Amino acid sequence: MTTTRVRLTPQQAWDRLAEGNTRFVEGTVLHPRQSPDRRRELTDGQHPHAVVFGCSDSRPASEIVFDEGLGDMFVVRNAGQVVSPSAVGSIEFAVAVLDVPLLVVLGHEACGAVRAAIDSTRPDAPELPAQIWRLIAPIVPTVHRVARSTRSDPSGVDAAVVGREHLSETVQELLQASPLIADAVAAGRLGIVGAVYQLGEGTVVPHVVEGALTVAGK
Q: Which pTM does this prediction carry?
A: 0.94
pLDDT of residue 7: 86
Q: Which residues contact 109 (CB under 8 A, 6 or more apart)?
A: 160, 163, 196, 197, 198, 199, 200
Q: For 99-124, how does the pLDDT look when each residue is reduced to its tens digit (9 = 90+)?
A: 999 999 999 999 999 999 999 999 99
Residue 53 phi/psi, 5-degree rounding, is -105, 105
Domain residue extents for the chain: 10-210
H or E, element range at 160: helix 159-177
Q: What are phi and psi of 151, to 5 degrees?
A: 55, 50
Whether the predicted pLDDT of 1 surpasses 80: no
Give residue 75's Cα distance to chain centre.
9
pLDDT score of 2: 47
Answer whether CATH 3.40.50.300 is correct for domain 10-210. no
What pLDDT sits at residue 216? 84
Measuring CA to CA, which residue among 91, 94, 93 is closest to residue 81?
A: 91
pLDDT band per the 50, 70, 90 thresholds, residue 175: very high
Q: How many CB atoms lie within 10 A of CB 108?
A: 23
The stretch 159-180 carries a mean pLDDT of: 97
Q: What is the pLDDT of residue 217?
A: 72
> CB–CB of 172/150 below 8 Å?
no
The tens digit of pLDDT for each residue in 66-109 reads 999 999 999 999 999 999 999 999 999 999 999 999 999 999 99
Predicted confidence at residue 96, as pLDDT, reads 98
pLDDT at 195: 98
The answer to which of 21-30, 177-186, 208-217 has the lowest mean pLDDT is 208-217
Residue among 98, 89, 102, 105 nearest 180 (CA): 89
In the structure, what pLDDT confidence band is assigned to residue 6 with cuts at 50, 70 and 90? confident
pLDDT, mean of residues 175-189: 98
The pLDDT value given to residue 4? 54
Distance, CA of 107 to CA of 15 (rounded, Å): 19
182/84 Cα distance (integer angstroms)? 16
